[in-house]
Chain A
């Protein structure tokens, strides 16, 4: 009976399709998500803009006050126009962009560290620790972020002196803003990390590691945490967009980063009073904020779908 030939053909066909690693599967899905690629493209362009741009414009150019030229519309000499002090807006968006993006990233680092720590401790130890930490988390979560931000920024904003780093001088408010934004946005991540820890710590690999004598510290950071990395990455990515927006909001209100250090947000603050006459003052920094946030949202969305295949079916 010539059965074996047919069967073995089938077997061959199955063996040829070797299983992909989870990383490879995620990458394939991410690529299929074209918008995510567009997002990454825009991000790369923006980062190039704020880094390579410094080659063409020095910081002195950005802060160069030229009152004769104040409030002039876009021209060859000043492609984005000038502001109230006659400063070139293009140059200011480059340096301002650096600050805005750096604040975004640093604030997220603060928030991720806080959120992961609190979530991990609450989820891992459970009981009283969990109750207390979660009550605290829920309480802070219920206070609208912007209000808290404003209060904290106003009252702590002037407490730090200006400092110098990498040959540039920064107003002390930058550090304060990073801390304040970070400390008001960790709650969401803490909840996710906590619930993941709650379920992961019941799994057998944790019991096995415990039997092998692993310390709590090792269990949390070396065993369980790596298994919940995906939502942390997705959340952190989307948080950067939110942090950039938060910085823009409070700087727009005049309570964020103080001049002369420029950020996209505080450039908009200056622009508010000159709505009618000088729309270029708010248009360009605002559009840059929009592009940055949009790009991050695209990329973050793609990341989320890449890590969680179930969401792909329903949302696409």
Chain B
């Protein structure tokens, strides 16, 4: 078991390196890396430009630049004054130590800017995953047990509609009904922007209240997809011989479904949830933009609009790493849960 964990982690390293390489190639073509210096309007005088070019190592070949991007150049001397002799240490620490440069918009380390928002996005993601899990399981299992009933057919039709919906359209519909119109009708209405009411402050209640609509719009689409998946898994499992054996032993219905059938049907679910994270993150960008949720997605959106390359790249690298790590976590969880693999 521990060998498997180690193996997976080791496998992840070349993967992360390749991802970083792809992203680096992207960043080198995105624009002028010197644009942050000298402000947004002024053009850099040529002498300064040259100096900065050397300082940031931009005159080196691409491979060297990639390595410097990764590990920085503050451990080596570079030639700052152009005379061919290395004299001062570089100033970059490299991505591996969290240095993505300074945000163009806020003039502080990109990693700081991102760090402030990461937790908000994680909160949104976690709340969402929890809701998705609970409801998909409930709906999926119930539908499987009542196959072909009116309930099942309705849910199937609704599921199709559900996962064909663009998340932002659903957000707009939800806002229109539960915010705009509830207000009009004098009902307690859900807030549309932000994480909490500025006057009240970030209490748990405020945050939960503000979470409702964003989580709803993100999760409904996922629930629609997963409940169908769970349903089909349960159906397949219910027809297995060992479920028949469980009935033949005279076990009560609930024990057969939850103790025998469900344990088998749930296994692939773990993997699916792992694969879902990239999609959920993507959905979060739009949701955060619409609801003004101060998370990484909204920051990404603002940063790309303002061509703030350090923040953009920082977020890209961080979420890619998150995705890879999360997938490893789900793989390990699956291996742990399935005794056939655990005891190889």
Chain A residues near B (Cβ < 8 Å): 35, 135-136, 138-148, 150-152, 154-155, 241, 245, 248-249, 252-255, 268, 271-272, 275-276, 279, 282, 286-287, 289-290, 293-294, 297-298, 314-315
Instruction: Tell me, yes or no, whether B14 is within 8 Å of chain A by CB.
Output: yes
- 28 pairs across A/B with beta carbons < 8 Å? A35-B160, A139-B19, A140-B22, A142-B327, A143-B19, A143-B323, A144-B278, A144-B279, A144-B323, A145-B282, A146-B281, A146-B285, A147-B316, A147-B319, A150-B285, A151-B26, A154-B304, A155-B307, A252-B286, A254-B305, A275-B176, A286-B172, A290-B161, A290-B166, A294-B160, A294-B164, A297-B163, A315-B235
Instruction: Tell me, yes or no, whether B100 is within 8 Å of chain A by CB.
Output: no
Q: Which of B23, B29, B160 is close to A297, meaning CB atoms less than 8 Å apart?
A: B160
A-B contact number at CB 8 A: 132
Q: Which 5 A-B pairs have the closest CB atoms?
A: A146-B282, A286-B169, A294-B164, A144-B278, A293-B164
Q: Which of B15, B175, B312 is close to A142, meaning CB atoms less than 8 Å apart?
A: B15
Contact code string B175-192 (vs A, CB < 8 Å = 1, else 0): 110001000000000000
* A142:B289 contact, CB within 8 angstroms: no
| Chain B residues closer than 8 Å to A268, beta-carbon distance | 168-169, 172
- In the complex, the chain A residue whose C-beta lies closest to that of B184 is A276
Instruction: Tell me, yes or no, whether B196 is within 8 Å of chain A by CB.
Output: no
* B324:A142 contact, CB within 8 angstroms: yes
Instruction: Tell me, yes or no, whether B232 is within 8 Å of chain A by CB.
Output: yes
| Chain A residues closer than 8 Å to B164, beta-carbon distance | 241, 290, 293-294, 297
Interface residues on B, range: 35 or more
* B304:A255 contact, CB within 8 angstroms: yes
The docked-state distance in angstroms from the alpha carbon of A293 to that of B304 is: 28
| Chain A residues closer than 8 Å to B169, beta-carbon distance | 248, 268, 282, 286-287, 289-290
- In the complex, the chain B residue whose C-beta lies closest to that of A252 is B168
With contact pairs A150-B300, A275-B172 given, residues A314 and B282 touching in the complex (Cβ less than 8 Å) = no
* A249:B278 contact, CB within 8 angstroms: no
* A151:B312 contact, CB within 8 angstroms: yes
Give chain B interface residues in 295-316, CB to chain A under 8 Å. Answer: 300-301, 304-305, 307, 312, 315-316
The docked-state distance in angstroms from the alpha carbon of A204 to that of B324 is: 39
| Chain A residues closer than 8 Å to B324, beta-carbon distance | 142
Contact code string B241-284 (vs A, CB < 8 Å = 1, else 0): 00000000000000000000000000000000000011101110
The docked-state distance in angstroms from the alpha carbon of A297 to that of B312 is: 33
* B285:A147 contact, CB within 8 angstroms: yes
Assuming A144-B320, A249-B166, what are 18 further A-B pairs, CB within 8 angstroms?
A: A135-B18, A142-B278, A143-B19, A143-B22, A144-B277, A144-B278, A144-B323, A145-B279, A146-B282, A151-B312, A154-B307, A155-B30, A155-B307, A276-B176, A293-B165, A293-B166, A297-B160, A314-B239
The docked-state distance in angstroms from the alpha carbon of A268 to that of B168 is: 9
With contact pairs A135-B18, A142-B320, A249-B168 given, residues A147 and B180 touching in the complex (Cβ less than 8 Å) = no
With contact pairs A138-B15, A144-B281, A146-B282 given, residues A248 and B166 touching in the complex (Cβ less than 8 Å) = yes
Instruction: Tell me, yes or no, whether B236 is within 8 Å of chain A by CB.
Output: yes
| Chain A residues closer than 8 Å to B285, beta-carbon distance | 146-147, 150, 253
The docked-state distance in angstroms from the alpha carbon of A230 to that of B141 is: 31
| Chain B residues closer than 8 Å to A289, beta-carbon distance | 166, 169
| Chain B residues closer than 8 Å to A254, beta-carbon distance | 305
With contact pairs A135-B18, A150-B301, A272-B290 given, residues A245 and B166 touching in the complex (Cβ less than 8 Å) = yes
